Amino acid sequence: MGTVKVPEPVPSPDNDCQRLKKAFEGLGTDEEAVIWILGHRNQSQRRKIKDTYQQLYNKSLLDDLHSELSGDFRKAIILWAYDPPERDAKLARDALLKVVVEIACASSPHHLMAVRQVYASLFDCSLEEDILRKILVGLVSSYRYDRQLVDSGIAGSEVSRLHEAIVVRILSTRNLFQLRATFECYKQKYGNSFDQLESLLIAVFWCIESPEKYFAKVIKNSIVGLGTDEDSLNRTIITRAEIDMIKIKEEYCKSSLVKSDTSGDYKKFLLTLLG
């Protein structure tokens, strides 16, 4: 259910590499050629292009893209050029926990395992270790007042947080079908849904229950307001373009908003991925 349109017949990797090399030559870069080639190739085709480029020119295509392009367009193209597991590993490295939730809950078990393997090879530690480290750094870097003062309001609010810790254990140990059944029972029993929990648990819930609704909302939030959140826009469109972008578009028709909130080659590339 992706939106990437691959031409038929597909040019050979050698041909694509020659066109890319030509696009980099001269005084200016031919951004249109870069968009047309990379924006119309699927995951396996992009990998072959990168491998062939290295063999033909003894240079990294990612390095050349980094030196020839700039701004949000460069960020988007390079993110797209990565293999999906490497891309998600790099996103997770510097991500907030909500992005890790997206990767963990809106991906297949096979993809998540691949991300964990790539993460370990890239950063010499496991994804789990880094997440735990971030949590522990927060614990040891905060100042705790040691007087015997009690705030009953805080006590009341944090009771619910303790309850949520139990919820996290459930969410992390049950398969998607079991969780959906649990969500439905929760609605029937208490008359409301899990979206009354903290924002992180909301992300977990929607990534499992309806990824297309979740990512449609991420896109909406990234372009509504005074400025555009290019990182969230890039992440969502690039990581979902080959997975379920058709469903996301059905959930929230956003092409006109992308047109009005982006510009230049960056806009052309995002619209290419959106089909």
Q: Over the stretch 62-96, which tens digit does the pLDDT of each residue have?
A: 999 999 999 999 999 999 999 999 999 988 887 76
**8, 21, 202, 241, 274 from 91: Cα distances, Å:** 32, 28, 20, 16, 21
Range of the domain at 56: 13-81
215 and 265 belong to one structural domain: yes
pLDDT tens digits along 155-174 = 666 666 655 566 666 767 77
24 and 74 belong to one structural domain: yes
**200, 213, 274 from 244: Cα distances, Å:** 22, 11, 11
Which of 65, 81, 97 is where one domain is finished? 81
179 and 197 belong to one structural domain: yes
Average pLDDT, the chain: 84
- Kindly report the CATH number assigned to the domain that includes residue 31: 1.10.220.10
Check whether 176 has a pLDDT greater than 90.
no
Q: Cα angle vertex 65, ends 74, 48, to 5°?
A: 115
31 and 71 belong to one structural domain: yes
pTM for the predicted model, two decimal places: 0.75
pLDDT at residue number 60: 97
pLDDT at residue number 13: 97
Question: What are phi and psi for residue 83, nearest 5 degrees?
Answer: -65, 140
Q: Confidence class of residue 242 from pLDDT cuts 50, 70 and 90? A: very high
**14, 43, 99, 160, 206 from 61: Cα distances, Å:** 13, 15, 27, 50, 36
